[in-house]
């Protein structure tokens, strides 16, 4: 069965530090999609990125970068030079054929950036 594991329940760093959020997934399908969402303290859920299983190229968007490694079934998220506004809960998710493309969610990692 599909599974998404975010082993880090909470991470606390000082502003300007780099931080990596881990995501490990399990799926039997060869075609699948991986996602990251951000939930700031205000509560809304914000889509950050989607990656399909055939595209292992890493992605960079400003201070955000994502490292997709099929060999280790991981899709890690790094924030460079963190800022207080990055404080949020971050969710990793998976969709695949077996789940009928419904999202399988990780438990989330709470990221606290201290000034």
Partner 1 sequence: DAGITQSPRHKVTETGTPVTLRCHQTENHRYMYWYRQDPGHGLRLIHYSYGVKDTDKGEVSDGYSVSRSKTEDFLLTLESATSSQTSVYFCAISDARPKVFGNTIYFGEGSWLTVV
CB 31 to partner 1: min, Å: 8
- Show contacts with partner 1 in window 18-37 (CB under 8 A): 31-33, 35, 37
107 near partner 1, rule: CB under 8 A: yes
3 near partner 1, rule: CB under 8 A: no
64 near partner 1, rule: CB under 8 A: no
* Among 88, 83, 81, 89, residue whose Cα is nearest residue 107: 89
Q: Look at the block and give the residue holding tokens 């419904």.
A: 102
| 80: phi then psi, degrees, rounded to nearest 5 | -95, 140
Q: Which of 12, 52, 69, 83 binds partner 1 (CB under 8 A)?
A: 52
Q: Look at the block and give the residue holding tokens 């190229």.
A: 57
């Amino acid at each position: 069965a599909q599974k998404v594991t975010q082993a880090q329940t909470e991470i606390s760093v000082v502003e300007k530090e780099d931080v990596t959020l881990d995501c490990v997934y399990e799926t039997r399908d060869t075609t699948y999609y991986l996602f990251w969402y951000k939930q700031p303290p205000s509560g809304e859920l914000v889509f950050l990125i989607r990656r399909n299983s055939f595209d292992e190229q890493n992605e960079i968007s400003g201070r955000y970068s994502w490292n997709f490694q099929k060999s280790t079934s991981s899709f890690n998220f790094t924030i460079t030079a963190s800022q207080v506004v990055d404080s949020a809960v971050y969710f990793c998710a998976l969709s695949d054929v077996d789940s009928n493309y419904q999202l399988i969610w990780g438990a989330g990692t709470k990221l606290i950036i201290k000034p």
